[in-house]
A and B are shown apart, each in its own frame.
Chain A
């Protein structure tokens, strides 16, 4: 076959071009580290690589969300830890205050410190991060715990909600990164209404509606002396300072020189001259003041009745007949409805009413502070009884905080697990992507060396071919 000069040169050119292109391709792979620089380099590989890239992006964003959510949980956890410490200190103080030998200034000091603890707890419960409240559920733009003046009482109410703010931590898994304040700071568990037993009032038949504490004011209005005047005994100041209520049996034993009111302690009648104001108490501590200066020395067995009324809001008083088994009292401002059995009321006072286990720590501490300041005039035994009621509630709210800490802790642990899983997934995806997209550098280096070598050989051979001409040998 003939070979034309043009085609000879042409073929050398083609060979050079092809080898240069191969060299260029190998060099592209080496300098970019990638095997696929454009879809046409490996169309099926490109389609696969794109899918893997989407999955990789998914794990990255999940990890990012986990990190942010984890920070928020961490913030909430350390706030709750602080709250728990505050509550431990509060418990210590309440126990301390139940010591009967404390003086009034001591009690006041404890009250002041408890007041400060309450403020700090409010701050913790209303903790914000970047303008978002941590303990309001999904209502993160509203301060969760708000202090109000309702019905003459300072009360703290929850303004958040119970919904959970969740983030995606896996393809199908979500974890909540918010906490509902009323689950952690005083989880309200409605239940039977409790009374502290001060006045003898008991719960009625119908269910009650209310939350936290209420104070049932049982007031003494008048004392009915009955037949006392028959032995020359009268009331002091018309019974103004009396606190007994209901029908109480009074017996004066002239021989023993004692007076006893119902089931209360036996009181020795003081010598003459000191009989103008003799105080006898019934079993609940309801007081009766008697003026025995005119006593004729005879025995007496009769009934003295204390009349009174009851109120739950301090404004509206309902007169007591001591026969109501299911008296309904309501406080419109607070929305409370209380049903009481008045048959066993024997003493006036301010009865602490607890609606189930619904009190929050702030109202609780407020109540303790008020108890310690003892405006209700309780004696130390009664005060201790009341404080121990508060202490039970304090233990309960502390448990709620600890339980909340536990829940947050387990969520944080789940986040850590989820993050670890996503890291594993990410590693695997990177490896898959690399297999598809990345150049095998050793192979590419070999390819480059090889194509360079081939190029050089082609150049050398081509040079020989194009230079061989008859002209060199013609004369």
Chain B
């Protein structure tokens, strides 16, 4: 009898004490993160059969149980993954935003403004050295900012990589921790003990892990959990696999796991966020920045490379961009110019090169480039063919162009002020031209007989044409015929000269004046050249040579060639009805100029498209087929080859990483090429640069420079503000989940205090009962 009572009393006491201990544990851990409140499960003890009665056997403390909702826990983990990812991105984006410094005066946009403001100011006084220096400085500041931003975006990626690496370390530590806990929980629960605190610890580790990566948690045997990341097992029942950081085939950061092949895709958690920041966002912004820099270089260099430097025509130029040997044969000269590793595209078009002599006389040349055929060697050869110019590719793959001493060159679209240096048009030399134009039908060995006199005894000689000097002698070009004549020794000693103009051949005496006389006496080539009507006719020079001056600036949209020829034979300013006809390349008449009676020699006449001409006093002859031609250039580099090679550019480089001011200009602002005519007050290039600021650029998908930058900065802001709203919404969801979890697992101190009072009283009551039982037992004993 007394045993039952003692046992019951003891069980009550013990249970109360276990409850109190657990309450104490709860109160102690009220603020412990991840702690789930525990309760002792009480069950009444087995009844005993005493004297025909079933008397209850007290209370048994069954187990200590924690209150937890596993499902809620999983949801919280995935929400924390999401917020971890957003948080990491938002942090990185905040730094980028600060870097952009927009909207404001000190961002890249403000530096663009400074640059164009300096361009505009310089246009009021293009030769002012202070303003030039100012422009050079603002250009340096602008290019420096591009490079800084590019570097910062690069650092964002490398910093993100470093952060991922350290977090991967943490992931591996947590994984080991979870495995250890798995084992301990397994051991503990195998002897039927509830491993409550161990499970709490494991849940905390899982929560921290899910903040780092997006995990899938699966229950395993023996109370263990398995954790999967991107479908690969990070934590197994008994062991953990470690993750490590590598790079993939594209050089981008990637994650690998032991025991798994291929790369682990991580999209959530801080690591996922960092991967997106460093692998997607920052590179994308960098690509956009590169695009902006590339277009800026292209457009500004296009305008600058065809300008004339303040320091005059160039003695030598070296390309800023190197050629690449694509086919790997050790040479770059056989590469197509359009496919030789140059950072800007070369298209089919024309390059105009002017060679300037020490007196300022200009010779214009053109080089045609075909994107599908022209090789580097072709270009070098064509440049070398230009008199007084030489070109080569040096050992590092850079093109060099140089001029002979006493000469200079540039690429500006100027009008040749003196288009008729040989005086074919009304010149003082005796000139006879072919009435028809090329091709001329000649035969091998055909002859042309001349008599030339320069005031002394006439010299007669004969020129023979050989097939070797012609591409196809039955279709001889004017250039070939002229070259053959000029190479003839007899012609040279007699003072006969030939020149090709507009497809016609002109035979001239080198001496001038009325004493210079030439005549065609005969020969088998006469018919082929159309000179039959001129046989035996003396052609004399004249005392006055018509001084032709062209001026103005060509305003046409495309390249053109004008040919000027007289309509009659007559004297400028004197002969009634004398006119000069101007034809374009297609043969259409663009102007008919009155130069007869009533025209005062030296008066400037408008031809067309901004071109003006003045004629001096002299005689013109339509019968002798006199004419002169002039090339008019709209875009002197329509192939963009100068930009591609980086010749005479304002900027060098090809993207935001290497954009810089051309070193030659930085060293001496006088090297800025600001004019098209070479005059000190001509700032045409500056005005064209201002236009770049407001044009929609095809390379920027139709945006302007400022618009594109605005989109870039706005894009960063958009990404950041998206993250902000997502964080706010996700944070609210997490909060509500946490509250529900707290409702299930949280400790309410007031509750515990109530229970404390309850079980204190229970204990007191149980102690009282025990004392009574003891007393009863003693009283029983005293009876004996």
Contact = CB atoms under 8 A, between A and B. Distances in A.
B748 A132 contact: no
A39 B38 CA distance: 49
Interface residues of B, number: 83
B617 A61 contact: no
A64 B120 contact: yes
| Residue among B600, B704, B713, B720 with the highest chain A CB neighbour number at 10 A | B600
B337 interface: no
B106 to A, nearest CB: 12
B65 interface: no
B704 A4 contact: no
Contacts of B749: 5, 469-471
A41 B124 contact: no
Contacts of B679: 137-140, 161, 163
Contacts of A4: 30, 742-743, 745-748
B408 interface: no
Nearest to B573: A207
B124 A69 contact: yes
B509 interface: no
Nearest to B119: A61
Nearest to B714: A47
B601 A190 contact: yes
Interface in B83-129: 93-94, 97-98, 100, 102-103, 109-110, 112-113, 116-117, 120-121, 123-128
A49 B103 contact: yes
Contact of A39 (B97, B126, B748): B97
B750 interface: yes
Nearest to A433: B103
Given A2-B743, A6-B742, A50 B123 contact: no
A247 interface: no
Interface stretch (A166-174, A218-226, A254-262, A277-285): A166-174
B720 A40 contact: yes
Given A138-B679, A356-B600, A40 B747 contact: no
A138 B681 contact: yes
A207 B120 contact: no
B572 A5 contact: no
Interface string A27-62: 000000000101111111011111101110110111
A97 B735 CA distance: 107
A474 B755 CA distance: 13
B742 A46 contact: no
A77 interface: no
B681 A136 contact: yes
Interface string B657-685: 00000000000000000010101111100
B342 interface: no
Given A137-B679, A337-B617, A471-B753, A60 B117 contact: yes
Given A57-B116, A68-B124, A206-B573, A139 B706 contact: no
Contacts of A3: 742-743, 746, 748
A192 to B, nearest CB: 7
A10 B693 CA distance: 54
B14 interface: no
B672 to A, nearest CB: 15
Interface string A1-26: 11111110011001000000000000
Nearest to B596: A207
B600 A207 contact: yes
A104 to B, nearest CB: 38
Contacts of B502: none
A140 B680 contact: yes
B655 to A, nearest CB: 21
B710 interface: yes
Given A39-B716, A471-B753, A7 B616 contact: no
A373 interface: no
A144 B433 CA distance: 41
A130 interface: yes
Nearest to A177: B124
B573 A168 contact: no
Which applies to chain A's interface (DSSP): helix, strand, loop or mixed? mixed
Nearest to A44: B714
B715 interface: yes
Contacts of B602: 188, 190, 209, 211, 358
Contacts of B747: 4-6
A474 B743 contact: no
Interface in B697-734: 704-707, 709-711, 713-718, 720-721, 724
A474 to B, nearest CB: 6
A165 B707 contact: no
Interface string A357-384: 0100000000000000000000000000
Interface string B587-630: 00000000001011111000000000000110000000000000
A125 to B, nearest CB: 16
B739 interface: yes
Contacts of B681: 132, 136-141, 163, 165, 178
B437 to A, nearest CB: 31
Contact of B711 (A47, A54, A136, A141): A47
Interface string A421-441: 000000000000000010000
A208 interface: yes
Contacts of A166: 687
A130 B713 contact: no
A38 B717 contact: yes
A74 interface: no
Contacts of B543: 328
Contact of B746 (A2, A54, A328, A437): A2
B735 A205 contact: no
Contacts of B112: 54
B659 to A, nearest CB: 19
Given A61-B117, A140-B681, A470 B127 contact: no
A51 B710 contact: yes
A61 B717 contact: no
B421 to A, nearest CB: 18
B57 interface: no
A22 to B, nearest CB: 12
A1 B743 contact: yes
A65 B124 CA distance: 6
A72 interface: yes
Interface in A97-155: 130-132, 136-142
Interface in A67-96: 68-69, 72
A142 B680 CA distance: 9
Contacts of B683: 165
A69 B122 CA distance: 11
B341 interface: no
A466 to B, nearest CB: 11
B264 interface: no
B546 to A, nearest CB: 10
B743 A36 contact: no
Given A43-B718, A469-B750, A206 B574 contact: yes
Contacts of B553: 163
A294 interface: no
Given A2-B746, A163-B553, A474 B121 contact: no
A64 B97 contact: no
A162 interface: yes
6 contacts: A6-B30, A7-B746, A39-B100, A39-B721, A42-B717, A50-B710
Interface of A: 1-7, 10-11, 14, 36, 38-44, 46-51, 53-55, 57-58, 60-62, 64-65, 68-69, 72, 130-132, 136-142, 161-163, 165-168, 171, 174, 177-178, 188-192, 205-209, 211, 328, 337, 356, 358, 437, 469-471, 474
Given A50-B102, A65-B121, A138-B682, 16 more contacts: A1-B740, A3-B743, A38-B717, A39-B713, A47-B713, A54-B693, A61-B120, A64-B120, A64-B121, A132-B681, A137-B681, A138-B677, A167-B120, A168-B687, A177-B124, A471-B753
8 closest A-B pairs (Cβ-Cβ)?
A4-B746, A39-B717, A207-B573, A190-B600, A47-B714, A54-B706, A50-B710, A40-B720
